């Protein structure tokens, strides 16, 4: 695709003595008001060099470059050189590029195959997979897809929370109040009931907390009875988690959780001791980070048991030695900001120069209208229930409106799950929000179903046009032989400009770890396509005009589909 900014930079630089094209490119602006052109070049900085007033410089440059075929017009406004790109040139260039690349449109080789780890989802074993987990799961999966589209070699890790004192509590609760049959029937709901009961009973009998700590200590030492129960809880939990991942279409390359690093922690403790980084405090082992403004990091408790921080340091070292990552991205809630800042600082203190390649990508919290979610109190909304209700509501709408679809159940699943994911990924990830059933299941406005419907509309236009016209449009666009003067209207041009920006948007989203940038852009493309659809008749009698417009329909549909795919959302052909 033509890089107009670069071409303009080279053209202007050729008219200015001793000025590099790259310097001109950095100065070029994109006006927010289309009336000021597609690109603008401010001439203030040239006044000293050319010994002229900026408006005169702008006027001279306008006269020199206005004849170039890439421009529709060039004008001087005060000290600015305003340039309007040829609509026909841009639209023909855009549709050729999209049709040539197809599903590859938006992909790049920015990453050059460098290994990047994305750790996301990471639920706790024996606890519910609730609506809050959708944040890490959805955001993380989208970041994986965006980095994959940028050409990185991405490794997806689900760092399961399968270790820690809570397993001591769970084992104690099961032994006192549980039974095998109930756990096998409904593992997570039953284990949650036991976990909740433990905390209720511990309020009455504080000795239960010590019993749980002792039980976890035995688990850490590999005692057979505790190990067997822990493995059973883990296996049963994974069965339920996998059901949700299957619904979302999410896969992982590794499920190595906290327990995987239990035999790798002694090395970390030895290194901390050898380098004099760790010291004793009231029987516990700590690292003093006060001078860094990060407080004191607790490494091991007074009973010798380890904590999250120890395991995260061990995990980072293992990952670097195993994958030699370029980046190690952690999609974890903002509540853990201090935790990540501490352990990354400690890794750097240990002398590992790759420490800052570990990147924490925080996100805001989800709460319920009745307050913060609490596993201990059993106040949660199961993610599986949300997905199933969204699918069911979508199916009701499809049947009620007698939607022409190939497969009602498949479309309902694609749209229902898409609605939940799209809402999750439509706002800036750092924002907190309150979960509300009505909002999740509202399909009106700038939602996933709206964007999916727009894709289905583009597919419908192509079906009505017929296979012969679609193939001819594809052939003419690819060969650069399209008669593009039929797609130079304002609606067509604005749509083409948004499509052109899509590859840049993908890179920006990756650099900022922000899927909502993609989400908002494909909403804009959908809106622009619908305006084009309403403003201009597409399937007209004039063949050249019809073929030209079909190439833009194809390009819009492909871009929307590719954008939805980066969010982990499908694009129905009929809706």
Catalytic residues: 127, 130, 133
Q: Are the C-beta atoms of 550 and 473 separated by less than 8 Å?
A: yes
CA distance 235 to 230: 9
DSSP bridge partners of 156: 118
Coil, strand or helix: which one is 306? Answer: strand
CA distance 500 to 98: 9
> What DSSP character marks residue 130?
B
Q: Are the C-beta atoms of 219 and 171 separated by less than 8 Å?
A: yes
Phi, psi of 517 (to 5 degrees): -65, -40
Phi, psi of 79 (to 5 degrees): -90, 10
Kindly list the distances between the CA atom of residue 414 and the CA atoms of 107, 248, 425, 508, 573, in Å, as whole numbers in the listed order: 23, 9, 16, 27, 11
DSSP bridge partners of 367: 372, 434
Instruction: Please name the residues in contact with 393: beta carbons below 8 A apart, sequence gap of 6 or more.
Output: 416, 441
CA distance 215 to 198: 14
The radius of gyration computed from the CA coordinates of the chain, to the nearest angstrom, equals 29
Tokens representing 77 are 């406004």
Distance of CA 184 to the CA centre of its chain: 35
């Amino acid at each position: 695709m033509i890089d107009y900014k670069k071409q303009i930079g080279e053209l202007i630089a050729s008219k200015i003595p001793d000025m590099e094209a790259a310097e001109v490119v950095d100065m070029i602006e994109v006006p927010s008001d289309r009336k000021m052109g597609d690109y603008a070049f401010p001439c203030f900085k040239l006044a000293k060099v050319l010994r002229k007033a900026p408006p005169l410089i702008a006027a001279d440059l306008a006269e020199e470059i206005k004849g170039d075929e890439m421009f529709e017009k060039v004008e001087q406004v005060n000290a600015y050189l305003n340039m309007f790109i040829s609509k026909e040139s841009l639209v023909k260039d855009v549709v050729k590029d999209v049709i040539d690349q197809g599903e590859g449109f938006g992909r790049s080789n920015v990453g050059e195959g460098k290994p990047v780890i994305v750790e996301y989802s990471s639920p706790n074993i024996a606890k519910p997979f609730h609506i809050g987990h959708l944040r890490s799961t959805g955001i993380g999966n989208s970041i994986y897809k965006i980095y994959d589209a940028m050409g990185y070699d991405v490794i997806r890790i689900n760092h399961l929370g399968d270790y820690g004192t809570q397993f001591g509590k769970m084992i104690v609760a099961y032994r006192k109040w549980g039974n095998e049959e109930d756990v096998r029937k409904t593992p997570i709901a039953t284990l949650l009931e036991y976990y909740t009961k433990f905390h209720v009973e511990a309020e009455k009998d504080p000795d239960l907390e010590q019993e749980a700590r002792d039980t976890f200590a035995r688990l850490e030492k590999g005692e057979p009875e505790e190990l067997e129960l822990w493995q059973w809880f883990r296996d049963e939990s994974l069965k339920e988690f996998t059901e949700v991942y299957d619904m979302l279409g999410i896969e992982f390359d590794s499920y190595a959780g906290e327990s995987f690093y239990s035999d790798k922690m002694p090395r970390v403790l030895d290194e901390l001791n050898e380098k004099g980084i760790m010291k004793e405090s009231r029987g516990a082992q700590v690292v003093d980070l006060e001078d860094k403004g990060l407080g004191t990091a607790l490494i091991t408790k007074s009973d010798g048991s380890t904590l999250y921080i120890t395991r995260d340091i061990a995990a980072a070292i293992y990952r670097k030695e195993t994958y030699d990552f370029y980046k190690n991205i952690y999609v974890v809630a903002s509540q853990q900001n201090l935790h990540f800042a501490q352990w990354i600082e400690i890794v750097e203190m240990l002398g590992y120069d790759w420490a800052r390649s570990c990147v924490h990508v925080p996100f805001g919290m989800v709460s319920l209208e009745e307050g913060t979610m609490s596993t201990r109190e059993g106040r949660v909304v199961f993610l599986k229930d949300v997905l199933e209700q969204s699918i069911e509501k979508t199916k009701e709408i499809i049947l009620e409106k007698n939607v022409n679809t190939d497969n009602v159940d498949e479309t309902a699943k694609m749209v229902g799950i898409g609605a939940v994911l799209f809402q999750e990924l439509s706002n800036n990830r750092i924002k907190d929000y309150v979960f509300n059933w009505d909002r999740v299941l509202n399909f009106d406005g700038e939602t996933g179903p709206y964007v999916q419907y727009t894709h289905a509309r583009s597919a419908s236009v192509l079906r009505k046009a017929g296979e012969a016209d679609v193939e001819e449009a594809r052939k003419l666009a690819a060969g650069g032989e399209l008669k593009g003067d039929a797609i130079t209207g304002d609606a067509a041009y604005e749509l083409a400009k948004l499509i052109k920006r899509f590859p840049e948007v993908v890179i920006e989203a990756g650099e900022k770890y922000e899927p909502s940038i993609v989400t908002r852009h494909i909403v804009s493309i959908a809106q622009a396509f619908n305006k084009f659809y309403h403003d201009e008749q597409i399937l007209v009698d004039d063949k050249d005009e019809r073929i030209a417009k079909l190439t833009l329909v194809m390009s819009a549909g492909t871009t929307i589909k590719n954008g939805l795919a980066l969010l982990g959302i499908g694009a129905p052909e009929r809706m």
